[in-house]
Chains A and B, each alone.
Chain A
Amino acid sequence: MSMVRDLSLADEGALKIEFAGRRMPVLQALTERFAETKPFVGHRIAGCLHVTTETANMCKALVAGGAEMALCASNPLSTKDDVAASIQRDIGAEVFAIYGCDRDTFYKQVQGTLAVKPTIVIDDGADLTSTIHNDYTELLGDIVGGTEVTSTGVLRIRNMSNAGVLRYPVFPTNDAATKHLFDNRYGTGQNTIDGILRATNMLLAGSTFVVVGYGWCGRGVAMRARGMGARVIVTEVDPVRALEAVLDGLQVMPIAEAAELGDFFVTVTGNRDAVTLEHMQRMKDGAVIANSGHFDVEIAVEALRGAAVGRRELRPNCVEYRLPNGRAVVLLAEGRLVGQSAAEAHPAEVMDMTFATQSMAVQYLVSNGKKMEPGVHPIPREIENEVATAKLDAYGVRIDELSEGQHQYLNDWRVGT
């Protein structure tokens, strides 16, 4: 029934899954717990995710907890065929994922996954949720709830909810602190620097590094660039975020001015046209421009290509465009996510937090989903705390506990001046 490239790749996949698993201690602890308590017995989970070693470890946790599981790929280009084979053969989920397959096959895979008749839906980009609501409404009766991992997917599901069509409760994993603190801040912080170094091998120490957008990702990128010895400039449109950057000791100015100073530019705004052709025309000769926002709309790549009078590929993922003013700018990874294109996607340590949070959200839905209203619900605070505590344990870090008196003090509205 399943669709994978070649089951004989499973041995190789198993080795990689194990290697990643060793760096996912929180998820491993959960797996052990689920194996004892079996919270998912009688539940059927449909997942649409990047089919990677990290996802495999989450499947392992859910199957260990007694779930019957089916999995398809949220993006055919991120599927690792050997990992898919091992999830099918060793972990025992039904897998529908083949690297590089076409659109038709992709929809057949979604179909195959939904044949499990899910009670729980795990989504990355809201494809399962929207397909179910459009074409498989007969499944809705059984579904107790779902989770969604990306901001873009959350946006889609919120729109469904606002339009009054969403029929089950959804937890937006992206909004949990244990996700965006690790993924957006520390994960993107490191993989952006990593991608820039692999694409250019230029020295960051002493350079001027402009971070466009000081959100979760921007803070991480700025912190790591400074840590590598760069002088960091921030540009923003939100006054509170800009103020935060100033008090973090960074220089803040409009992009039009920063354009003239930067050696490196990184866009992390989630917005379009953060760096325009006009900005690029002001840049120093040889300035490097990269994007770490989700879509490739943050840098005006088309306008740059249109205006350029010369193009030279300096290295893989590193193209120089000469402008009519005689100066050149260097665009990395054609304006797509530089960390994912030129380096490796998030390290296992980051996905550990995301998937541990998600697995616990699934457990919560199993016990409470029936009582929850359809709509987007914040991930319960206890889940964040539990995941963070487990991660601290893995780091070997201990913290203090509130005393009885402190607890009372914090909860009593009558104590004051």
Chain B
Amino acid sequence: MSFRVTRPPAELVELGRAALDVARDQMPVLAGIRSEVAGTRPLQAQRVAGCVHLTKETGVLVELLVAAGAEVAWTGGDEVSTQDEVAAALAAEGVEVFGRRGMTTAEVEQAVTETLGAFQDGPTLLVDNGTRLIEAALSAPGTVPRLVAATEKTTEGCRRVREWAEQGRLRFPVVNVNDLVTKWEVDNTYGTGQSTVDGIVRATGVLLAGKRFVVVGFGQVGRGVALRARGMGARVVVCCRSARTAVRARLAGFPVLPPHEALVGADIVCTATGYPDVLTGEHLDALPGGAVLCNTGHSVTEINLADLAERTRETKRIRPHVQRHILHDGRHVDLLSGGGLINLDAAEGNPSEVMDITFANQALAVLDLAAGADRLAPGVHEVPAERDEDVARRKLAAMAVRIDAPTPEQLEVLTSGGHPGSLGERSGP
């Protein structure tokens, strides 16, 4: 059985087109790129296979690739996130779409394999999100005889690709489209900052003003959550592991405390680190009764759920995303979204404007690869700083914000990467 979307019902296509219309209106940067490439069709002769959550925003990226002349095959790469109406609308435009909402993990794998095999001579470019396509291409090189390059959107994926490169398994260049300042600022900091606070309010209905709100981790995501929680009137305290981020948090005006002190008076605790076991039993023991716990970091392991279960006498579901844990000592704590990503579960994840930037980076990387991938060696490549500056300019134009143009000398300093605070600086953990 194939997961190829064929002859979708007309009503579903209509629904999908309406959804794409709405998303397109909120993605002006992609619209700008699209109008530039529609005339020149620089992706003519390219066959692009993509594996990124099939949402309406992804649909707008796919439309752009088609408008640029590419043949496109796509799959969502995920069990539940595929929007069938968007899949239908894209299929009706001639895109090869594989998969549907509600697949098993094995079915997701099969849809990925089908996507990779959708073209006669195999794809020339891959657009990946979590290395599903890249991994499939590496394990079956026969299916991709003409493959020139790929893009990868996740940090974790890029780490894996680097490992494969070191083992000598990687035979094509992969561009890391995650580590861009524009992507971080807009997506991790402001997008996730907003949707996390939004998720907490939707889940609990509490007034944030006056609440003691502990943010654990002050990276790209933690900084956004802390800023937005403060903006809603919460009394925010930050816990850091790295001295460098602690300085950044303090200079942004947040009290910085070790967790066991910060947690003593916490009303709400949000983890945002990307590491496991950030909140363990000893932390849970320090919490006052009635505290709300949630996580917006990568996985459900940041709050140690086994430690919580060990201390729990009984649980009650008190609102759709709120599980109350009554502890053996009589206190209770409320766990939101089972310790998973609060912003995706209780709110709606990133707004279209945010995906506009993320996907603009991806679209431009694909266009760059089509123009000159032959110059790149197999391995992981960073997007050049000029590209970052370019995307930022496009975003400003979309917001009708004007700035001065740098002189050629200034531009060199801005993009050289050595100057503190320049776009070349990468701030990490």
Interface residues, chain A, with chain B CB atoms under 8 Å away: 15, 19, 22-23, 186-187, 189-190, 193-194, 197-198, 201-206, 223-224, 226-229, 285-286, 312, 314, 343-344, 347-350, 395-396
B371: CB under 8 A from chain A? Answer: no
A22 & B290 in contact (Cβ 8 Å cutoff): yes
Given contacts A224-B233, A396-B265, contact A190 B351 (CB under 8 A): no
B377: CB under 8 A from chain A? Answer: no
A202 & B351 in contact (Cβ 8 Å cutoff): yes
B232 & A190 in contact (Cβ 8 Å cutoff): yes
Report the separation of the CA atoms of residues A19 and B202 in the bound assembly, to the nearest whole angstrom: 16
Specify which of B194, B210, B230 is in contact with A204 (CB 8 Å cutoff). Answer: B194
B399 & A206 in contact (Cβ 8 Å cutoff): yes
B353 & A203 in contact (Cβ 8 Å cutoff): yes
Shortest distance from the beta carbon of A355 to any chain B beta carbon, whole Å: 14
B207 & A347 in contact (Cβ 8 Å cutoff): yes
B351 & A395 in contact (Cβ 8 Å cutoff): no
Specify which of A186, A229, A285, A350 is in contact with B231 (CB 8 Å cutoff). Answer: A229
Chain A residues near B232 (CB, 8 Å)? 190, 193, 224, 227-228
Most buried by A among B233, B265, B347: B233
A194-B201, A350-B207 given; name 15 further pairs at CB < 8 Å: A186-B207, A186-B210, A190-B201, A190-B208, A193-B232, A197-B347, A202-B352, A202-B353, A203-B191, A203-B354, A205-B190, A227-B228, A228-B197, A229-B194, A229-B231
Chain B residues near A344 (CB, 8 Å)? 205
Specify which of B191, B206, B230, B351 is in contact with A349 (CB 8 Å cutoff). Answer: B206
Report the separation of the CA atoms of residues A23 and B291 in the bound assembly, to the nearest whole angstrom: 12
Chain B, Cβ-Cβ closest to A15: B318
Nearest first, the 9 closest Cβ-Cβ pairs linking A and B are A227-B231, A205-B190, A349-B207, A347-B207, A203-B351, A186-B209, A203-B353, A201-B348, A197-B198
Chain B residues near A343 (CB, 8 Å)? 201-202
Chain B residues near A348 (CB, 8 Å)? 205-206
A-B pairs with beta carbons under 8 Å apart, 9 shown: A189-B209, A193-B232, A203-B194, A203-B354, A205-B190, A226-B231, A229-B231, A347-B206, A349-B207
B227: CB under 8 A from chain A? Answer: yes
Chain A residues near B210 (CB, 8 Å)? 186, 349, 395
Shortest distance from the beta carbon of A388 to any chain B beta carbon, whole Å: 12
B310: CB under 8 A from chain A? Answer: no
Chain B residues near A197 (CB, 8 Å)? 194, 198, 347
Report the separation of the CA atoms of residues A190 and B229 in the bound assembly, to the nearest whole angstrom: 11
Chain A, Cβ-Cβ closest to B197: A228
Chain A residues near B233 (CB, 8 Å)? 186, 189-190, 223-224, 227
Chain A residues near B201 (CB, 8 Å)? 190, 194, 343
Chain A, Cβ-Cβ closest to B228: A228
What is the number of contacts between chain A and chain B, taking CB atoms within 8 Å?
Answer: 86
B25 & A286 in contact (Cβ 8 Å cutoff): yes
Chain B, Cβ-Cβ closest to A284: B400
Report the separation of the CA atoms of residues A144 and B307 in the bound assembly, to the nearest whole angstrom: 57
B190 & A202 in contact (Cβ 8 Å cutoff): no
B22: CB under 8 A from chain A? Answer: yes
Shortest distance from the beta carbon of B415 to any chain A beta carbon, whole Å: 23
Report the separation of the CA atoms of residues A73 and B290 in the bound assembly, to the nearest whole angstrom: 31
Chain A residues near B190 (CB, 8 Å)? 203, 205-206, 229
Report the separation of the CA atoms of residues A285 and B24 in the bound assembly, to the nearest whole angstrom: 13
Chain B residues near A224 (CB, 8 Å)? 231-233
Shortest distance from the beta carbon of A413 to any chain B beta carbon, whole Å: 37
Report the separation of the CA atoms of residues A204 and B318 in the bound assembly, to the nearest whole angstrom: 30
Chain B residues near A285 (CB, 8 Å)? 25
Report the separation of the CA atoms of residues A105 and B353 in the bound assembly, to the nearest whole angstrom: 49
Specify which of B25, B265, B318 is in contact with A19 (CB 8 Å cutoff). Answer: B318
Shortest distance from the beta carbon of A179 to any chain B beta carbon, whole Å: 14
Chain A, Cβ-Cβ closest to B265: A396
| Residues in B54-91 with C-beta less than 8 Å from chain A | none
Shortest distance from the beta carbon of B113 to any chain A beta carbon, whole Å: 33
B26: CB under 8 A from chain A? Answer: yes
| Residues in B300-328 with C-beta less than 8 Å from chain A | 318
A347 & B194 in contact (Cβ 8 Å cutoff): no
Chain A residues near B290 (CB, 8 Å)? 22
| Residues in B204-230 with C-beta less than 8 Å from chain A | 205-210, 227-228, 230
Chain B, Cβ-Cβ closest to A23: B206
Shortest distance from the beta carbon of A145 to any chain B beta carbon, whole Å: 30
Shortest distance from the beta carbon of B222 to any chain A beta carbon, whole Å: 16
Chain B residues near A22 (CB, 8 Å)? 290
Chain B residues near A312 (CB, 8 Å)? 18
A229 & B227 in contact (Cβ 8 Å cutoff): yes
Chain A residues near B198 (CB, 8 Å)? 194, 197-198
Chain A residues near B352 (CB, 8 Å)? 201-202
Given contacts A202-B351, A203-B353, A206-B399, contact A227 B230 (CB under 8 A): yes
B231 & A347 in contact (Cβ 8 Å cutoff): no
Report the separation of the CA atoms of residues A347 and B354 in the bound assembly, to the nearest whole angstrom: 29
Chain A residues near B191 (CB, 8 Å)? 203
Shortest distance from the beta carbon of A225 to any chain B beta carbon, whole Å: 9
Shortest distance from the beta carbon of B219 to any chain A beta carbon, whole Å: 17
Specify which of A189, A198, A226, A395 is in contact with B202 (CB 8 Å cutoff). Answer: A198
Shortest distance from the beta carbon of B239 to any chain A beta carbon, whole Å: 19
A201 & B351 in contact (Cβ 8 Å cutoff): yes
Chain A residues near B399 (CB, 8 Å)? 206
| Residues in B320-371 with C-beta less than 8 Å from chain A | 347-348, 351-354
Shortest distance from the beta carbon of A4 to any chain B beta carbon, whole Å: 23
Shortest distance from the beta carbon of B317 to any chain A beta carbon, whole Å: 11
B207 & A187 in contact (Cβ 8 Å cutoff): yes
Report the separation of the CA atoms of residues A286 and B208 in the bound assembly, to the nearest whole angstrom: 29
Chain A residues near B194 (CB, 8 Å)? 197, 203-205, 228-229
Chain A, Cβ-Cβ closest to B204: A347
Report the separation of the CA atoms of residues A349 and B211 in the bound assembly, to the nearest whole angstrom: 10
Chain B, Cβ-Cβ closest to A197: B198
Report the separation of the CA atoms of residues A347 and B318 in the bound assembly, to the nearest whole angstrom: 15
Chain A residues near B351 (CB, 8 Å)? 201-203
Chain A, Cβ-Cβ closest to B233: A186
Chain B, Cβ-Cβ closest to A185: B209
Report the separation of the CA atoms of residues A349 and B201 in the bound assembly, to the nearest whole angstrom: 13
Interface string of B2-43 (1 = CB under 8 A from A): 000000000000000010001001100000000000000000
Interface string of B186-201 (1 = CB under 8 A from A): 0000110110011001
Chain A residues near B318 (CB, 8 Å)? 15, 19
Shortest distance from the beta carbon of A182 to any chain B beta carbon, whole Å: 8
Shortest distance from the beta carbon of A279 to any chain B beta carbon, whole Å: 19
Interface string of B113-137 (1 = CB under 8 A from A): 0000000000000000000000000
Shortest distance from the beta carbon of A197 to any chain B beta carbon, whole Å: 5
Chain B, Cβ-Cβ closest to A16: B318
Shortest distance from the beta carbon of B341 to any chain A beta carbon, whole Å: 16
Chain A, Cβ-Cβ closest to B395: A206
Given contacts A19-B318, A197-B194, A201-B348, contact A190 B25 (CB under 8 A): no
Chain A residues near B347 (CB, 8 Å)? 197, 201
Chain B residues near A350 (CB, 8 Å)? 207
